[in-house]
Amino acid sequence: MPDWLHRQAELQPDGLALLVAGDPSSTRDERCWTFAELDAAATALAERLRAAGVRPGQTVAVLAANEPGYVVLIHALIRAGAVLVPLNVRLTPAELAWQVADSGADWLIYGQGFGETAAAVAATLPAPKSAVAVGPAIPPSPAPAMPPAAEAAGQPGRAPAPATPVPSHAKGWPCLLSLAGLASDLLMAGAATQGPVQAPCAMASAGGATTTSAGPTAPPSTGDTGAAAVPASAAVPSPASTAGLRAAIDLAAPHCIIYTSGTTGRPKGAVLTYGNHFWSAVQSALNLGLHRDDRWLCCVPLFHVSGLSIVFRSAIYGIPMVLHRRFDPAAVNASIERHRVTVISVVATMLQRMLDERGPRPYPEHLRCVLLGGGPAPRPLLEACAARGTPVVQTYGMTETASQFATLAPADALRKLGSAGKPLFFNRLRIVDERGRDLPPGQVGEIAVQGPTVSPGYHRRPDATGRAWREGWFHTGDLGYLDEEGYLYVADRRDDLIISGGENVYPAEVEAVLLAHPAVEEAGVVGVPDPEWGQVPVAVVRLREPHLDAAPDAGLGSGRHAVPEAGRTPAPVREVQPGRTPVPAPEAEPGRISTPAPGVRPDRTSAPAAPARDPERSRASAPVLAAQPSRYGLPAPDPARHPSPVTEEALLRFCAERLARYKVPRRVLFTSEPLPRTASGKLQRHVLRQRLGSA
């Protein structure tokens, strides 16, 4: 089929394609591009990549944060016929080096601020094939040069011996390219915005004046670049007119290799085809609808499948993408208003911070869909959004399914609160037991999926592919169940399941209860070995800022990296002594837990007999909205009526009033550092287990 971006440039050359949001208090650094401009920049960059030596079929790793050049590069690599390997900028050089080597990348393109990291990655790999640091003017045949770090140190341009193991099939480091050097002048064509962008960006005509839907205006400001905007009416060059560039898209061809975080061992590279991305976009539109005035805000990383999917939805739907360089709740809230955003993709922690920053004010009516991914969301968060009319739609998906696989239809958002919905139109889903047999509604089992969005397998990992893809179904490793109407409820990761005394304990369920406490900002629950029960749950909690004096630094790391650095021993979690700083405790009424759907109790009859339980601690929970935490904009408990301190005993008592006894954490440990998460916001419980294990 035709190149998606180029086809939109033919259909609506003056249509707004990309808007890069700036400071919410100013419009100075906001810029936008039409489809014609973005298309022309992608073609020009593809030509430069070819001149630098990039050839069809080669693999190109990209280390960059959210920036307009990254969007252009994604489209340029399609036309160059290269396979993209987006790298997580939060990883250490050692972790990045493994992925670069495992992917067999021929090139490593780094974005602004990542030159030193790219050089460090190259330095950990075997002797170089060649390395080029490309400046603004790219010679037809780039001469070998030293990597930036070696050049700065005056050292020979040969990497030292590898500092960490690399895959045995690695053939040498990739060539280094600077994204700024490749594309900085191409990106100057974007027009600076003038006030709220509600119509296509103003483009300069040949005479220097600008034309908008409202008529001629003064010439636009060019910001700090000093570059004038280019006419949108200029002829759109066809990719086919440039020899060697790909003009059409083969849906069966591989587009990218995205490395998953995994729970054990090295990460695996999931191969996604163009067809995976295309059918994901088509199915999402069938479920959510497609409006002519839609604008999709992207504040998730472009190196993640969620961010990448927004780039392609923009090109396939022909709608603008509003790109944020990083997530800032105030900036995102302001952008929703200013740029009339209609759809946004976030994870629970991001949405929570957005509500904190916005306060009780409802979102504008033009915001029609908040897609919520990254794992099961806390029930109090969903109920608070429902109370204020925020249109939250839960999704279920992963890298291997090219983002969304199942999504709750907007009409069911309130009726099926907590559900991830039904599989998208062309997808199928089953709940199976250990032998692959289908389970009845209400019974928890492994989620197995099938459909055109599912990856064909893992890169260079036939063993892992064979274990996960069986008889035409991808076995996700996630646990969940279907209700009587076929709606999916995600319980947890199979690898995170805690079996205590023969009973299944789902960490997400216990975490949801802890998150209902108004003093708790983050909570993670993992199983630790126990000689009597096999495993017992232990909670790690980070308190909200007003209560941080009750939680000294637990040494869980800075949270910058998704996993600990190679060779570094994780610091142990230190306990907080009971009875420290008194802060209000929540009301005593029981709160609602998150996992079961209304009227559905997961069947656990196949589990061995459970230990005796305290009947007072096993009573069913009843929903009490008034007891939800104040961070969601709902009433907080009165400190005068509830003076109990936030101590380990207080949180254990809070859980005991809401959970069966065997689910109550054996210990609650405190940390002042953010809990480890993936780029999509998923809690990395295996990292917590590693760090607790070293205590």
What does the DSSP assignment read for 130-185?
------SS--SSPPP---HHHHHHT--SS--S-SS---TT--SPPEEEEHHHHHTT
Q: How far is residue 84 CA from its own chain's centroid?
A: 17
Is the pLDDT score of 18 beyond 50?
Answer: yes
> Long-range contact list for 158-161, CB < 8 A, 24+ apart?
158/127, 158/128, 159/122, 159/123, 159/124, 159/125, 159/126, 159/127, 159/128, 160/123
User: What pLDDT does 125 receive?
Assistant: 79
| Burial annotation 561-574 (CB, 10 A radius, 16+ → b, else e) | bbbbeeeeebbebb
Per-position DSSP letters for 249-313, written without gaps between them:
--TTSEEEEEE---SSSS--EEEEEHHHHHHHHHHHHHHH---TT--EEE-S-TTSHHHHHHHHH
Split at pLDDT 50, 70, 90, the class of 262 is: low
Is the pLDDT score of 14 beyond 90?
Answer: yes
Contact 85, 60 (CB under 8 A): yes
Which amino acid, residue 685? R
Proportion of the chain above pLDDT 90, given as a percent: 50
Rounded mean pLDDT of 464-488? 95
Give me 72's structure tokens.
């252009």
100: left (phi over 0), alpha (psi -120 to 50) or beta: alpha
Rounded mean pLDDT of 298-323? 97
Is the pLDDT score of 128 beyond 70?
Answer: no
Question: Comparing C-alpha atoms, which of 559, 577, 545 is closest to residue 670?
Answer: 577
Split at pLDDT 50, 70, 90, the class of 37 is: very high
Please give the Cα distance from 203 to 209 (Å, whole number). 8
Please give the Cα distance from 582 to 452 (Å, whole number). 54
Split at pLDDT 50, 70, 90, the class of 219 is: very low
Give me 126's structure tokens.
């075997």
| Gyration radius (Cα) of the chain, Å | 26
Split at pLDDT 50, 70, 90, the class of 268 is: very high
User: What pLDDT does 618 receive?
Assistant: 31
| Lowest pLDDT segment from 52-56, 144-148, 355-359 | 144-148
Residues near 658 by beta carbon (within 8 Å), at least 6 away in sequence: 513, 516, 590, 591, 593, 621
Is the pLDDT score of 168 beyond 90?
Answer: no
Element (H, E) at 4: helix 4-11
Is the pLDDT score of 215 beyond 70?
Answer: no
* 43 φ, ψ (degrees, to nearest 5): -65, -45
pTM beyond cutoff 0.85: no
Contact 164, 124 (CB under 8 A): yes
The dihedral built from the CA positions of residue 435, 439, 443 and 444, taken in this order, carries a sign that is: positive
Split at pLDDT 50, 70, 90, the class of 645 is: low
Contact 384, 356 (CB under 8 A): no
Domains (ranges, CATH) in the chain?
Answer: 4-8+28-135+174-182 (3.40.50.980), 254-496 (3.40.50.12780), 498-555+644-693 (3.30.300.30)
Helix axes 274-288, 305-317, angle to 10 degrees: 70
User: What pLDDT does 546 receive?
Assistant: 57
User: What pLDDT does 140 receive?
Assistant: 26
Q: How many CB atoms lie within 10 A of CB 670?
A: 25
Rounded mean pLDDT of 276-303? 96
3 state SS of 102: helix
Rounded mean pLDDT of 185-204? 49
Please give the Cα distance from 182 to 298 (Å, whole number). 24
Contact 632, 352 (CB under 8 A): yes
Rounded mean pLDDT of 66-75? 96
Position of tokens 């990348």? 105
Is the pLDDT score of 321 beyond 80?
Answer: yes
Name the residue with higher pLDDT: 606 or 448. 448
User: What pLDDT does 615 receive?
Assistant: 33
